[in-house]
């Protein structure tokens, strides 16, 4: 057996775990359903990991900022 560490589960879709306080990422959000889904996913990640995020949408692009 090799000594390489194994990871389990799916790889993350959004790079929220690597964000530091004050970092921003932009994600495409073309439809209202996309906006709602992204906001819900970011919020749930923040609740589960004791972090705070702010989502802003303008012209089909969502900006996610880590605030806490």
Amino acid 54: pLDDT = 97
Residue 49, in any domain of the structure: yes
- The domain in which residue 50 lies consists of 24-66
2-56 residue pLDDT tens: 556 678 899 988 999 999 999 999 999 999 999 999 999 999 999 999 999 999 9
Coil, strand or helix at 39: helix
Three-state DSSP class for 16?
A: coil
For residue 46, is it within any domain?
Answer: yes
pLDDT at 67 over 70: yes
- Indicate the number of domains in the chain: 1
pTM for this entry: 0.83
Please report whether residue 53 resides in a domain.
yes
């Amino acid at each position: 057996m090799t000594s390489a560490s194994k990871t389990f589960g799916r790889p993350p879709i959004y790079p929220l775990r690597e964000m530091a306080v004050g970092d921003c990422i932009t994600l495409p959000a073309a439809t209202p359903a996309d906006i709602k889904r992204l906001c819900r996913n970011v919020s749930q990640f923040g609740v589960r990991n004791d972090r705070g995020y702010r989502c802003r949408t303008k012209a089909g692009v969502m900006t996610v900022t880590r605030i806490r």
